[in-house]
Every structure is written in structure tokens, then in C-alpha cells.
Structure 1
Amino acid sequence: MSGARVGVVRRLQLWLIDRLRASRIWPVGLADKRADTHRLEQALNAEVVVFFPTGADSLYQLRPWLKAFETLNETHRVSIVFRDSRAAAVVRRESNLDCLTIARYGQLDAIFSRSNVKLVLYVNHDPINFECLRFTSMLHVYVGHGDSDKGVSVSNQVKAYDYCFLAGQAAIDRTSTSVMAYPAADRSILIGQPQLDSDVVATHPDPERKTVLYAPTWEASQPSVSYGSLITHGLAIMRALRGTYRVIYRPHPLNGVIDSAYGEVDSAVRALADRVDTDVPLAQSFADADVLITDVSAVALNWLPNTKPLVITKPRVPIPPSRLMETLPLMEAGADFAAIISEHLSADPTAAARAELIEYYLGDTTPGVATARFVSACTDVIARRDDWWAARQADGATGP
């Protein structure tokens, strides 16, 4: 085949790929890499970048941070860098933050080369984060997307970042215990949980019956941290409680992504629920519920400040050491779910013990405090970066 024909074929291939990425059939979990080409030759007007290379199905990790990022934007300009244009479009609609989509690493390099980015924040451990972690002229901070007692919350990946912003002492203790050759106390900054600083929402009680919120986690991508209860508990919980209670089901966005059986049970549970919360804030689900049933997950910890009854399911896999799990009796598959919920609603036997754990896990939960600490921590890290980078430049470093 001649060179000209090869060129035509290649251009056609690229055109078809672009059309596919723009179509509705492109998987939501796969970044479409449709770059904002009109901005690729411009500098970012930002000191802080939030790097989010994952697809739109993972926006649940980013959304709870948007209010805090908007507050930070008032002091230090923030841009969110995406690899998926659909995710960027959602965040543009839901926030006033600058959003930029890139297609490949070289574009990130070019943009950083003409910008003055000082701090990069990460809400997950996506392997593509390493494309951004390569840059030495900025400091890199992992903020995560909610603290939990899941085994996956402890990861050797924390060593890739300059600092981790953590909610409470529980996170430092967890990391210190499990991660070798890592000075957790020195590399961690406690800020609380800014995601909980949401607007106060009105409650919508059922006038005739109590409300149970069932909010399980997903099946997980690793068998060792598969804490989801849908398969073991889900349908039995719904059948035991429906009618007596209003049951709100809050499904995890990734149910069924790894194991199709979870997707099938998810559909069946939705059909039995009185309400399915997919597009409402977590704070609204919390406000409308009298008791929560959940799994080993961040949802359990975020519920603690509500001071309302909490029931956690017992997973099929071992649970890491946890003060919360040692405090609460875990609900076995096949238990008398109706009797357990009745007891917790009437007596709440673990209320005092849970109250003692709030600060340990979440820090100061006074509204606004965590967001203020987050902004202050970013300011401090940026100041350190400026001092350190000036010294490196004096020694000949060029960046980015």
C-alpha cells in the first residue's frame, strides 16, 4: 500500500474513533479523551489543579468535594483537569470551577510548562495519576473521597504523594499500623471531612412510619475488599422491612461493574424500595432517614455526626482492625432484620459508643470548620512549595 493510501486509512481510523467517542455507545466508565483543543495552547490561570482522569461513572468521588474546591477557588485559583469530556460537562453545570479536558500526557506537559501550577490534588488512586505525579515543580496531595475502615483505605500508593489530607486520627493510625517505611504522621495533615460541610437540607419524613436508609457499597474490584452486602443481605432486608417502614435505597454507582450478579440484585432491590436515591445528595438521604443500614464503607463514618441509629452488615471477607467495627454488632446474613431495626430505633444501644468515635474518625464536625482547615492546609502547602521550589531553581531546576 502506498504512503498516501496509508495516510488516508489512518485519517479515516482517527475520524471513526473520534465519532465513536462522541457517540452515546462509548462506555461511560471509559474516558473519551475529547480534548478542549481551543485551550491547549493557553496557560492555566490556576495555582491548584485537581487531576481527575477517570470516567463519568466515578464522579461520585469528585462531587462531594466541589463545594470545598469552590471555597478554595476564592483564595487560590482552581482548575479541574479531566480525561473525559462528559465528566467535565457535568462539573461545569454543577459548579463555577474551571474545567479542562485533555487527551494525552503530552498535552498536560505542554500546559504545565506554560503555567504556574503549585499544588495538585487527587481524589483517587487511579494509575493514570502517575502522568501528573511526574511533575516536580508542584506538590502533590492525596485527598481521597471519604475515609473508611475498608482495607483499600490503607495503600502503599500513599507514598507517591507529598502529603495526604486526612479526616481524623483514625486514618493516621490505620496508615501507621499497616504501611511500612512510611512516616504517616509527618506526611499527613488532618483537616476533618469538608465533604460533610454541605448546605442544610429540609427533611421529608413519612408521617405514618419510620424511614430506613439502605446504602450498601459495591462489589469492589478486588476480592479481598469486597464488603458489599447486596448479594448476601439486600433482598432479605427489603422483604423484611417493606411495609412496616419506608425504605430508601441508595445504590452505589458502580454496582454490577465487576460482578453482573450485583447488577441483577441491584435491579431487584430497586423494585422493592419505596424510594431510590440516585440523583440526590447524600445529605438529603441522611436527613430523610431514621436509621441507616450500610456496609464497611465511608457512608458509615459520614453518618456518625447524625447521632441516629446505625447498623452495619457483616461481610464475607475479613475486616481490618477498626474501633467502629469493634463497637457495633455486625448484622449477619439471615438475621432477623426486622427485630434488629426495631431494637435500634427504640433503644439505639450503641449511641453513646458511637458518639465517642466522631472526633477520632472525622475531626471537628462543626459546620464549616473542615472546609476552613482544608483551605488553610492548601495555603500552607503552597507556601512550602514556593520556598522549596525557589531553592531548587537556585540549584538549576527548571521544571515543570
Structure 2
Amino acid sequence: MSLTAKARRGLKLIADITGNFLLDKRVRRQLSARNPTTPAQYEAILYFADDPSSAYQVRQWFGPMRKLSERHPVAVLVHKATTAAAIMKDCPLPVYLTSGINEVEQFVNAHGVRAVFYVNNNQANFTVLRLTGPAHIHLSHGESDKVSMASNQLKAYDFSFIAGEASRQRILANVPRLDPDKLVEIGRPQLDDVVETPPSNDAGRVKVLYAPTWEGDRDAMAYGSVVSHGPALVRALLADPRYRLIFRPHPRTGVRLRTHGESVKLIDSLIASAVKKSPDAGHYRDHDPDFNGAMAHADICICDISAMAMDWLPRGKPLLITKPIEPAAVVDPRGITSVVPVLEAADADRTPSVLDDLRSRPISVEQLDLIRHHFGETDAGASTQRFLLAVDRAMQESSL
């Protein structure tokens, strides 16, 4: 490396450090202004250590945590200033930046924290897990047949709140020596957040939500269809005047594989071109942080093996699952693809006719049984009540 290159590298490092310091300072000042002037006693904290590209994981718990805060005050603790800056505008709870374990420990001790919630298995979680006072509760960020849903890391938490019997069976079958009593079924509280269908001038078009997942962090997790199915599927739907397309790709699409990010850009351009030619068609890319709006708006959903598929199931509307083209992708033979119709990549350009056939048939009994197997009771408010009671029990046990 030349002296000039070394100098540039050193200057960039200094600039990055200075930029991070200034951002940290600015974010803490903003958080201080938005948080309660008198520090409250927070009985629970939602801890999140990831960067903004993964903020969807914590955002989907804002609703249930807001409900929990009515009986047990809740704060959100984030590890990175960039993430705090990203979520502070839409988070309904106090947000605090705790960049290291010392700050987390001071917060826990100062505010009487009795429970710490985690929505993933970030390595930074395991530093916080050394605190022996509060109950440590893993929440995950969705229910799905993905292979990542059964992890040996679950043993580290006092409890793992899971959706239902399907999750219990999946975990116990794949994680040996895990105490079954650590698994607490709560359903899916997010499904209790009712979103009214927004008014739209759809001219009688059937609204199709295409919500592909990301490429995954390894071949076993390669469920994403945005490259294999996406362009052909989108072109076919945009060309059919009976359909309106809502495109909602996973926020992390393209983080690991550039081709997936490029495919999202291609689909965006196809939608923009279609809207320019026919503004009344109403096709759009959904950028809302909350996925419930797009789900409420849509009549039918096309997605991959993912939590989006599971969250769509209780709506009782037609669902089509894409089949992964990666041979190493782990597909549960008794999972969602054994019940819900599957779209092969080779048939992506025939999507409108596939949807015609799907819409002509009633939702199968097997699909309704799948809902109960994954979520248990899905009546309005049922999951939220199970969640709140589970938190009460966990706090009581931690205080014994």
C-alpha cells in the first residue's frame, strides 16, 4: 500500500470515528428531549442491538409492547445510534441509546427492570444475558418454517415466547436437551392490531401483494424469490388489467447478494414504467415500516417461505408460496408448502392464470387447520392477552 493510500485510509478512519461520535451525541440529545423528563421505573425493556436494516424486527413488537406498557412500563434500548435515529420517529415508547453493557446494567439497576425482551439472537444479546436480576425472554420476529426458527441459542434465555404448537414441535425436534418449560405459546399478538382497509380507486382490480423475503445468510436459508420469480411474475401482473400490484420486498434484500438488490431495482423500474403508462392502475411499492397496511389493502398474497406467509394465513384470503430454486434451501415437508399452493419459478410468467385458478377455489380445510396449528386461538385480542399473562408469570418467577 502506498503512503498516499495509507494516508487516505487513515483520514477515512478519523472521519468515521468523528462522524460516529457526533451522531452519537446528536442522537442522545434528541432522545433526551423526547423521553420523559423524570426517569420512570421501567419494569421491562425491549433490547435491540442490530443496525437500521434489521429494524423491522423490533418495529413489529411496538404494538404489543405499547399494550404491555399499560400494566408494566416499557422502554426500548438500542445499541447503535443509527438505529435509534431510525426508530425514534415511529416508536410509541421511550427510546434510549445504550452503547455498551455498562450503560445497559446501569439502566436495569436504576429503573427496576424485571424483564428483558430480545427479538433476535444478535451476539450483543449474550453480553446482556449475564445480568442475573431480570427474566430474559426471547420473542423472535415472526413465525415461519425457516430453518433459523430452531436454534440452540434459545437455551440461553429464561423463556422463549413462541407462536404455537408448530413452533414447539419444530424447536423440540431440532434442539436437543432444551427444557420444554422454557417454551411459552402466546400466538401472534401483532395480528390483534387491526388495520382498516385504506380507501382506493382500484377500478375493480384485484390487489396482489408480492412480498418476497431476502436472500438469507446461507444456502439453507435461501428462500428469496426476487431473482428467480420476481421479474417474470411482476411483468405478468403489470400486463394484466385485472390486477393491481403491491410490491413489498424484505428490508434486507440485497445485503448479502447484490443480484437480489438489483432485482428489486428492476422491479421498481417496471412498476414506475407501468404507472407512467397507466396511472389509474395504481401499482405501487410499499415503503411503510408497518406491513399491516399492505396486508389489509391486498386481496391475495404471493410470498416466500417466511413470516409474511404465516401472518397472511389468519386473514383467510388466497395465498401462493414461491418454491425456492436453491437445492440446499431447507423446506419442511410437513410445513406450509405441503398445504398452500406453490409457484414454480418456471411458471412465474403464468402468475395471472395461476391466481385465477387459486381464486376460484375456497380456502382449504387443511389451510384453516394450519392456522390453528401455528397460532392457536386467533380471535381478536386472544394473542395479546396470552402475551400479557405470560409476561406477568415470567416476572413473578424472576422475583422468587
TM-score range, shorter chain: 0.7 to 0.9
Q: How many Å separate the matches in 1 of 2:184 and 2:137?
A: 10
Of residues 108, 115, 122, the one that matches 1:112 is 108
Of residues 192, 198, 207, the one that matches 1:197 is 192
Post-superposition offset of 1:113 = 3.8
Deviations along 1:339-368, one digit per CA (max 9) or x if unpaired, are 2111112224x5332112111111222222
Q: How many Å separate the matches in 2 of 1:352 and 1:35?
A: 51
Q: How many Å separate the matches in 2 of 1:104 and 1:33?
A: 15
The range that moved more, 358-367 or 227-236, is 358-367
Runs of 5+ consecutive residues of structure 2 not aligned to the other structure: 1-10, 33-37, 272-282
Map of 2:244 onto structure 1: 246
Aligned length: 365
Tell me the SS of whatever aligns to 2:45.
strand
Map of 2:278 onto structure 1: none
Of residues 346, 349, 365, the one that matches 1:334 is 346
Map of 2:81 onto structure 1: 85
Deviations along 1:209-258, one digit per CA (max 9) or x if unpaired, are 21211000000112211100011100010112213211110111111110
* 2:296 paired with 1:282: no
Post-superposition offset of 1:298 = 0.4
Deviations along 1:31-74, one digit per CA (max 9) or x if unpaired, are x69774898xx976211111111112211111111111111111
Post-superposition offset of 1:303 = 0.4
Instruction: Label 1:137 to 1:34 Cα distance change in 2 as closer, same or farther (>3 A).
Output: farther
Post-superposition offset of 1:171 = 0.4
Matching residue's letter, 1:262: H
* 2:273 paired with 1:261: no
Runs of 5+ consecutive residues of structure 1 not aligned to the other structure: 1-11, 25-31, 388-400
> What aligned pairs does 1:343-354 form with structure 2 within 5 A after superposition?
343-348=357-362, 350-354=363-367
Q: Is the 8 A contact 1:33 1:101 kept in 2?
A: no
Q: How many Å separate the matches in 1 of 2:336 and 2:301?
A: 15
Of residues 159, 162, 176, the one that matches 2:155 is 159
Deviations along 1:11-30, one digit per CA (max 9) or x if unpaired, are x9998545322679xxxxxx
> What aligned pairs does 1:371-390 form with structure 2 within 5 A after superposition?
371-387=384-400
Post-superposition offset of 1:173 = 0.7
Q: How many Å separate the matches in 1 of 2:290 and 2:27?
A: 29
Q: How many Å separate the matches in 2 of 1:43 and 1:248?
A: 43
Matching residue's letter, 1:374: F
TM-score (norm 1): 0.85
Identity of aligned residues (%): 33
Q: How many Å separate the matches in 1 of 2:179 and 2:209?
A: 39
Map of 1:367 onto structure 2: 380
> What aligned pairs does 1:29-178 form with structure 2 within 5 A after superposition?
36=28, 45-178=41-174
Tell me the SS of whatever aligns to 2:374.
helix
> What aligned pairs does 1:389-400 form with structure 2 within 5 A after superposition?
none
TM-score (norm 2): 0.85
Q: How many Å separate the matches in 1 of 2:94 and 2:17?
A: 24
Runs of 4+ residues over 4 Å off in structure 1: 12-18, 32-35
Deviations along 1:96-118, one digit per CA (max 9) or x if unpaired, are 31211022222223333444211
Q: Is the 8 A contact 2:42 2:74 kept in 1?
A: yes
Instruction: Label 1:43 to 1:208 Cα distance change in 2 as closer, same or farther (>3 A).
Output: closer
Tell me the SS of whatever aligns to 1:165.
strand
